[in-house]
Structure formats: C-alpha cells, structure tokens
Chains A and B, each alone.
Chain A
Amino acid sequence: MRRIIITAAAAALAIAIAACGSSSSPSATSKSGPSGTLVISNAQGTQWNRSFNPFNPAVLGTGVTMGQVYEPLVFINTLQNAKTSPWLATAWAWTDNNKVLTFTIRNGVKFTDGTSMTAADVAFTFNMLKKFPGLDINSVWSVLQSVTQSGNQVVFTFKAPSVPYFYYVGDQIPIVPEHIWSTIANPVTYADSNPIGTGAFMVQSCTPQNITYVANPHYWQPGLPKVAKVLYPAFTSNDPANTYLATGQAQWGSQFIPNIETVYTSKSPDNHYWFPPIANVSLIPNLTVPGLNDVAVRQAMAYAIDRNKVSQVGEYGQQPPANQNAIATPTFSGWMNRQAAAQYNYTYNPAKAVQILTAAGYTKGSDGIFAKGGQRLSFSVINVGGYSDWVAAMSVIQQDLKAVGIQITPQNLALNAFTARLYAGSYQLAYYAQTGGPTPYYEFRQWLYSANSAPIGKNASSNWERYSNPATDALLNQYATTTDSATQHQMVNQLQQVVLKDVPFIPMTQQVTWYQYNTGSFTGWVTPGNPYALPAAYSYPDVGQLLLHLAPK
C-alpha cells in the first residue's frame, strides 16, 4: 500500500514539476526562434469541440480562432480610442462621400499551407458572406452593395455612407483561403477542424480537454511570434480555472474572481490584474409599460440609486460605477459631455428623486409607494439568477428605490428564460448590458436605434427597452456619414443628451474586460500604461495582438 502511495506521489510530483516547468521553460534555445509555453485560463464553461470555423458565433466567443489563427484586415483598439493599425491590409481610404471603402492588401502573406494570401481571398471571403447569410453574424451585407477586387485592392461599395461599419468590415471579419472554402458545400456547418489561416499560430492538436497552438514558422511578420507554444485548456467551471491561475500553472486569465486579493494577487508578486471598462450594465425599463413610460419616473430612478454602493456590494468594486451619460470611463473619457453631465448632475440624490416625482403629480400612498391616477409605482425586475454579483447588485437597487417610494420585485431567472423574455419584451424592468464597440457610438446605436427594436412579442436584437425617436435615428444615421472626429464628438455629445434627458436606460456599473496576468515568465502584457489591445482571452481579434506582443523572459 505504501509503495503505491509513494509511486503515485512521485509520479504526481514529476508531472507537477513538468507542468510547472513547461510554463517557464528555460531559454536555453537560441535567441532566434520562438520559445516558451503560455497557458491560458479562461473558464468558457465547455469542453472543446474540434471546430475552428471563424464564422461560428459559438467558436468565436471563446477566442480560439479569430486573431491568432485567422486575421482580419485591420486592428482597431478599443482602449486607445479606436486607433486603427494595419494588419492584412496596409492602407485604407473612404471615398465618394464615405460610400466607398478601399483596402490595399499586403503582399508576401502566406496561408499555413504555403499558398499566398491575395486580394482575391479577401473579396471571396466577403462574397461568401453574401451567399451564406448564416455566416454574416455582423450583418455587413445589410449595408454593403458590392465587394470587388481590383489588383491588390478590394473595393467595398455601401448602399449609404456607413463609416461605423469600418469596424465590422475591417476588424471583425477573418480572411479565409478561397482555394479551400470555395470547395465547401455548406460553410455554415463546416467544422474547420484543421484551420488554414494567415495567423501567427497554428492548431497543432485539439482534444476535448485542451487546444495546443504552435508558432507559425512562415508567419509574415519576421521574428514573430516569440512564444513557441500556447495551451488553451477547457474548464467547465471557474474554480479549477481560478486555481490554475493562483498556482501559476496558467499565466493569462480572463474571468471574474471574487475576493481576488486573497485568492490570486496575494499568491505571488507576479500576479496582476486589470479590468478596463467597455460598456454599461444597466437597469432597463420597458418603455411600453405604464408608469415606466413616464420620463419623470425614470429620471427619479436615476437620482435615487447609489451607484457606488451597487458597485461595492455587488461587484466587490471590480466593476466601477457607471454614469448616466453611458460613457465608460476612463476608456472613453475623451467622449464625455461634461457640460451636459454637470447640467443634469445625476448623482445619488434621493431628495431630488422624490421632488421630481411630486412635481410630476405623484403622491405617496399609505404603503409608502408613489402613485398617480391609480397607477402605483410597483414593478417587477427580471435578472439572471446565475450571476450572483448581479443578484447582489439588484438588492441594493431595490433598497434604494424603496427609500424614494418606488417598489421593485426581483425575479431571478435562468439565463435562457431571462433572455427569451428580454428579447421579446415581456418584462417590466430588466438588468443587462450591451456588447458595445470601439467607440461609445456602437453602444448608443445598440440601445437607441429603432431598427434594433421590435414590437412587443417579437425579438428585438439589442434595443430591448423599445426606445424609438426619429430624431435620434437621424442622429445615429448622420454619424455614419462622417469621418471627421470633431463632428463625431459633437454627435456623441447629442446622443448623451438623449440619454440624460429621456433616460431610456439607467446605467449602474460598467461592464469590464476580465484580465489577470502573471509577469513571472512572460513580458509584453497589456497594462494600464500600455493598453495596446483588449486583454481578455475571449476578445477577438485582440487575442491575436496579445500573442504577438508576448515574449518569454
């Protein structure tokens, strides 16, 4: 018996040493050539399914393919005010009143099977999206008229000026090889188990437990990547993933870790984290519900809730409080309309909330709840029961609203039931966030554009509160016609005015990008001082940028 334990212990020890050792492999290798093995710890909650199809939303969301295996035309950095850098395209320009976008495609780029990547592949990729709408998850063909190749350039002609679509067309669409994808009968169901892309990494093996990437020896950027191998294990839950990070078995994490100081940062001086905010987690009123359709009620709510407390109690302070301008700070601080913010001054002010309700004709009933004309301010709010931090946040919101005479009753639902009701509009209040984009415009468009809405009972894609205002639509459309930064800022100022005045949604905390990193064996990480990309392993194509910058020590 004892012999068994000793052998088992020895074996386990050896394996542990090997596993730890491989993550900080000695640079006895020559200076030229990649070295080191990086381990990612992102609890995506599933086993791997050998599919790298970069048009499959399920695959994309886990960050396994776009960026490191397949590359887009340009890179747009959300954290540096949408700074655009060349990737597979070397130059780009809007012409014809911002209706025509021309990309010049880089020379000398090869796919991992040795064939050259040319403008023909780019044109093919986009025309394939047109042919198979199931691949077009960014709906680029709702605004595109044609995509043609001319020499080493690709010309995108839009139906109307669509400047914001530069992000979707340039940064979010992977370029795939024509000679392979043109032979696939139905690319929507194509698993793409052995992906051939232009990226810095190739898939060496994929088991349900782990994906192994190796450096592409013929990558078009000389000397890159510096990391030889990347391991991406599958984690079904957060706890093993967090433990991997805490013990140093993984160096790059992308999850919410409660009590992060005790569990992670205190374990090693090399453990760091940073959570850059990118969007707003908001209380969403269904604007068709009586009571909530009164702007006075919504304004009162915006004054009544202590966002600092929501952030502290619900999110351990890891998600900073949001502002009613719906501008994520400090990421998008340059867009903040400070004048309007000061004018409305949506700070925690329960007295003002009561004042607004009284001035609008509401009177407090004997139960302490305001009412007007028989309409009591009592609503239900749906929330995702599985997100314990949001449930905690909601209890703070509930208390704050009760203090000013508005009653809300949380209903914690399973994620599916929640989103089904949210999309269909069968709720009174809800708690959720948008995806956002590289500038605040994208989030505003998702919240406010009437085409993103739908009648109650039908699924709205992102305008769940059913806000509709032709003037705002015109503003959003007008933004799309200009590339001039000053004009864009002016319009976003006006959009903020809309959110401040009409209060179509009430931002509570800021949605952040989860990011933990260990500087012990690798350098080149995204840091607050050097935010060259969105640092989560699930951000695409930013994951590719991070892997290009990292180098073993």
Chain B
Amino acid sequence: MRFVLRRAGFFLLTLWAAVTLNFFLPRMMPGNPAIAMMAKFHGRLTGQSLIALETIFGVNTHESLLAQYWHYLCDIATGNFGTSLFFFPSPVSQVVRSALFWTLGLVGLTTIVAFLLGTGVGIVAAWRRGGLLDGIAPPVLVITSAIPYFWIGMMFIMIFGLKLRWLPWSGGTDITAVPGWNPAYIGNVLEHAILPGMALLITTIGTWTLTMRNNMVTILAEDYVRMARAKGLPARRIMLDYAARNAILPNLTGFAMSLGFVVGGAILIEYVFNYPGVGYMLLQAVQNEDYPLMQALFLLITVAVLVAILLADIATAIFDPRTRTAR
C-alpha cells in the first residue's frame, strides 16, 4: 500500500513538472500564430490579413505570463483545452479526438501485436536455441529493426500499392467512405490499415524478439529450470510457466512505455501513407505555433507515458514479489 502511495506521489510531482514545462516551452518559440498563418498561405493572403488574424487569434493580449499560467492550470483541471488556432475555430478537444481514434487504432494495435508476436517468437527461439528459428530470426530481425519505417512504408506503397495494386496506400479510408459502425466501413478501415500497420510491425518487432530471447536464454541457465526438467515437467510448461514468466518482466516496463508513446503517433507513417493521426497533427501544431493544440497534445503524451510507467511499476510489483520489498 505504501508502495502504491509513494509511486502515486512521485507520479503527481512529475506530472506537475511536465505540465509547467509544457506551458513555458512553446512560448519561447519565435513568431506568433498570426504570422505563422500568413506564412503558411503566402501568396494567397494580402498583407492586411495580418491585422485581422492578430485580432482573431487574440495575439498581444497584454496578459502577464503568470496570469496566463494560472489560467492554463485551471483550464487543464477542468478539461478545457481551448480553441485550436490552426484548425480555427474548432475546439482542441474535438480536433484531438478525431485524430486520436486513428492513432490508437493503428499504432496501438500494431504495438500490441508486435509485442505479442515478438515475445512469442523470442520465447520459442530461446527454447530451441541453436535450432532453425533461432538461426534465422535474430539476424533477420536485427536488420528489419534497423530499417527506417518510412523507407519500408515507401517500398510497400511502390510494390503492393502501385505495381501490384493489391492494397490501398493512402488515407485512413476510401475518400468516399461514409463513417459508421457497419461492416463495409470497418472493412475499409482495416484494409487501409494493412500497409501502414505492416510497415510499423516489421520495424518494431525486432526489439521485442531479441530482448525476450536474450532474457530467456539467461533464465534457462538458472537452477530452478534445471530442477523442473529433472522433475520431469512437460517442456511447454517449463517454457511458459517458469522461464517466460520470469523473462518477460523487464520487457513489461518497456512495453508499458511504448504503449504510453502510442498517443504520440507515428508521424512518418502518417506522412508517407497520408494516414490521419496525432503525430502529424502535433507537427502542424508546432509549425504553426498553435499553442492550445500543442499544449494539449504534449500533455496527452506526457500523461499517457506517466500513467503507463505507473501501471508498469504496479504490474511488476504484482508479478514479482521481490520488488515489493525493495526501497
């Protein structure tokens, strides 16, 4: 109990620090949103637009920094993230919600699948050390995990999208698809997610497999595994219930953190595949000095990662009794 309380207290402290940094950092950037918008549409807006834009965006409000900071804290507590400047006049919560759904779907699912698949392959490869799988999987996966995923993405587009025309390569759905909870739309979404998902999967699976395999190999040398073999337990039982269960613990924290970072999106995938998501939205917010949107997205990422770490700590404490007594 004390363990959980201490962890929760630490969590709150880090959260406050992150929130404060989140407020001050964007304001140290040069320019203001009005100029950013003029720049974005250079060639299509007249010079007079600058004044109108500054009025719209409320630049030069002459509020002191501390007053703004206090308002910002109050707004965060009540869940009011303001109006986006780049996607003016949509509220930030609406803008983020629309993109978040896609990111959680694509990146979230891919991360989970990569973890499960990678861990599974790692377990089997370690158990049958020196076998065929162990000979092929690690070197291949080292290579694939080093390849940048946007390059793989572009290869996929070229081969499967353009040359073979098997799969769609642009967008989250067909441009004419009507959103709705029906099989046609869901099928469309899944179909469009295959190529970006595969690109992400191929490049992230390597890490899980290699770390799992290495952990397993270390565990398999332990005395209790030898004891279990000596007792005559079935091989699968030793592999899963004894070795894997202990080997997976270090990976848990890493998995929790990558789940936390899922909400940061995969910007290069979104860029290459024209896929909707939070990553590219964050880039646009930064480029266009859209403070409300930027702050909301940074906050989202920070909170997600902090919560994930907290949960990972608790999970480790549950699965591994040794950590509960640690200071």
Contact = CB atoms under 8 A, between A and B. Distances in A.
B280 interface: yes
Nearest to B45: A57
Given A57-B53, A420-B30, A461-B47, A240 B36 contact: no
B168 A12 contact: yes
Given A12-B167, A416-B39, A461-B50, A435 B175 contact: no
Dominant SS among interface residues on chain B: loop
Interface centre among A39, A189, A415, A418 (most CB of B within 10 A): A415
Interface residues of B, number: 68
Nearest to A48: B87
Contacts of A97: none
Contacts of A57: 37, 41, 45, 49, 52-53
Interface stretch (B4-12, B88-96, B112-120, B203-211): B88-96
Contacts of A435: 42-47
B40 A415 contact: yes
B171 A233 contact: yes
Dominant SS among interface residues on chain A: mixed
Nearest to B289: A416
Contacts of A61: 40-41, 44-45
Interface stretch (A137-145, A344-352, A482-490, A520-528): A137-145
A84 interface: no
A57 B187 CA distance: 37
A463 B35 CA distance: 15
B90 A8 contact: no
Contacts, number: 196
B98 interface: yes
B181 interface: no
B254 interface: no
Interface string B13-55: 0000000000000000111100111111111111111111101
A9 B52 CA distance: 51
A540 B43 CA distance: 12
A209 B175 contact: yes
Given A137-B45, A414-B287, A432-B42, A49 B95 contact: yes
Contact of A417 (B31, B42, B165, B280): B31
A50 B90 contact: yes
Contacts of A12: 165-168, 191
B176 A11 contact: no
Interface stretch (A14-22, A322-330, A366-374, A494-502): A14-22
B318 interface: no
B272 interface: yes
A207 interface: yes
Interface string A251-283: 000000000000000000000000000010000
Contacts of A60: 41, 44-45
B68 interface: no
A247 B259 CA distance: 37
B178 interface: yes
Interface string B160-184: 0010011111111111111100000
Interface in A177-205: 188-191, 205
Contact of B47 (A58, A419, A462): A462
Contacts of B188: 15
Interface string A427-442: 0000011010000000
A56 interface: yes
Interface in A522-553: 538-540
A446 B56 CA distance: 23
Interface in A312-354: none
A464 to B, nearest CB: 9
A419 B191 contact: no
B98 A208 contact: yes
Nearest to B41: A61
Contacts of B178: 205
Contact of A423 (B35, B166, B174): B35
A511 B43 CA distance: 9
A540 B270 CA distance: 29
Interface in A140-164: 142
Contact of B48 (A142, A191, A237): A142
Nearest to A436: B43
B309 to A, nearest CB: 31
Contacts of A139: 46, 48, 51-52
A51 B89 contact: yes
Contact of B99 (A9, A47, A240): A47
A9 B168 CA distance: 10
A239 interface: yes
B170 A243 contact: yes
Given A239-B272, A419-B38, A420-B32, A11 B89 contact: no
Interface of A: 5, 8-9, 11-13, 15-16, 19, 22, 39, 45-47, 49-51, 53, 56-58, 60-61, 133-139, 142, 168, 188-191, 205, 207-210, 212, 231, 233-237, 239-240, 243-244, 247, 279, 414-421, 423, 432-433, 435, 446, 452, 459, 461-463, 511, 538-540
Interface of B: 29-32, 35-53, 55-56, 83-84, 86-90, 95, 98-99, 157, 162, 165-179, 187-188, 191, 194, 270-274, 276, 280-281, 284, 287-289
- Cβ-closest 6 pairs across A and B: A461-B47, A462-B47, A139-B48, A420-B31, A61-B41, A419-B39
5 contacts: A58-B87, A189-B89, A208-B98, A212-B176, A435-B45
